[in-house]
Amino acid sequence: MSITIRDIAKKLDLSIAAVSRALDGYSDISGETRQRVIKAAAEMGYSPNRSARQLRRKKADAIGYILPTEEPRFADPFVAEFISGLGNETALHPFDLLISIAPPGLDTEQTLYRNWVQSQKVDGFILNRMRVKDWRVQYLYETNIPFTALELSLDSIDYPRVEVDNENAMASLVKYLTKQGFQRFAFIGGDENLIKHKARFGGFLKGLEYCGIEWESGLSANGDMTIAGGYRIAQKLLYLKAPPDAILCINDETALGVLRAAHERGVEVGKQLAVTGFEGVIAGRYSEPSLTTMDIPIYEIARILVKMLACEIMHDVLDERVVVVKPEMILRQSTGRMG
C-alpha cells in the first residue's frame, strides 16, 4: 500500500519514533539522522497519513465553508469569487478546505454544522451571508469553535471578522445621484434578515435623509438578489404612474436585471433613469450600459477571512480582530451625466 514511517524506519534501521521526530523537525535528533530520514522520505515518496495524524493530534487541519444557498441552483459570481479566494488562501496554509451547501433554514444547515463539529472534520468555519440573528454565531461561540465571518450579526457576540462599510457607501450613492439631479429614489433589496440588506437599506435611508428627501415606501421592494429578481421588480417600478428616476440595488445582479427591464420599457438608462449596483461584479463593467457600483474586493476579503481564521486556530495573536473595508465608488454609464 502506501508508504508509512514504519517503512522508512525499517529501511534506515531506526525506530519509528525517531523518524517521526526527524520529519516533524524536533530538536532532539542528530542533524545527520535528520538528513538521512528526510532524504529517504523524499525518495520513497512518503507523505504522512492524514487521518492518523488528525486522530492523534486531535486536529483536522481543515477549515469548513458551508455555502448558504436557498435554491439548489443559486450560484452567483459573488460565490465564485469568494470560494476562489478561500481556496487560494487555504492552499498557502497547512489546511484543507471542506465545502458543502445547505439552505439557510434550520434543519439541514444545523445538522451539517453540528456534524462537522462533532465529528471533528474541521478546526474552524468561515461564514458569510450573516443574518441579523444568526444561530451559527451563537452555536459556534458556545461550542468554542473558531470562526471568522464577513459582516457582524446582531447577536452581541464579538468575533473576528471583516466588515464592509455598507451604510456610508450606499448613502454616498444617494448623495451623488442627488447632485446629478435625480430625485425619485427607489431601492431594491434582498432578504430582510440579512445584515447586508439591513446595512445597505439603512444607508439608503440615511442618504435620503441627509439630502432632505422623503422616503416613499412604495418605491422599495425586496427581491432575491438575482438578475431575474431585479428584472421582475423593476418591471413593476417602471410601470408606476410616477416611476422612480433612480433605482439603487442591493447588489450588481439585481441591477443587471433592472437594466434589462429598463431596456424593454424603452427607458434610457443614464439619462431618464439612474441605476446602481453594489459589489463590483465583473459583468457590470461590460453590461450595456456599464454599471455604476460600489466595488468590494470579495476575493481579498475571502483571503483575509482565511488568514484570520488560521491565526485563531493556531492561537496566534490577531493584530486586527476587525478589518473594515470601504467600498470604492465606480462611476459608469448607468448613472450618466458623468462628462
Partner DNA sequence: TTGTAGGCGTTATCAA
Partner DNA sequence: TTGATAACGCCTACAA
Binding interface with a copy of itself (CB under 8 A): 1-3, 45-52, 54-55, 58, 60, 67, 69, 72-77, 79-81, 83-84, 87-88, 90-91, 96-102, 112, 114-115, 118-121, 226-228, 231, 256-257, 259-260, 263, 282-283, 285-288, 290, 299
Binding-site member from 46, 65, 159, 187 for DNA (CB under 7 A): 46
Q: Pairing state of beta strands 328-330 and 293-295?
A: antiparallel
Smaller CB separation from DNA, 24 or 209: 24
Cβ neighbors of 291 (< 8 A, separation 6 or more) are 252, 255, 256, 259, 275, 276, 277, 284, 285, 332, 333, 334
Q: Which does 73 bind (CB under 5 to 8 A by kind): DNA, a copy of itself, none?
A: a copy of itself
Binding-site member from 25, 27, 42, 339 for DNA (CB under 7 A): 27
Cβ neighbors of 92 (< 8 A, separation 6 or more) are none
Helix%, strand%, coil% for the chain, nearest 5? 45, 15, 35
Report whether 240 contacts 186 (CB < 8 A).
no
Q: Which does 17 bind (CB under 5 to 8 A by kind): a copy of itself, DNA, none?
A: DNA
Q: How far is the CB of 210 from a copy of itself (least distance, A)?
A: 32
Buried b / exposed e along 43-68 (16+ C-beta atoms within 10 A): eeebeeeeeeebeeeeebebbbbbbb
Q: Which does 240 bind (CB under 5 to 8 A by kind): DNA, a copy of itself, none?
A: none
- Does residue 42 interact with DNA by CB under 7 A? no
Smaller CB separation from DNA, 117 or 132: 117
- Does residue 23 interact with DNA by CB under 7 A? yes
Residues that bind DNA (CB under 7 A): 1-2, 4-6, 13-18, 20-21, 23-24, 27-33, 46, 48-49, 52-53, 55-58
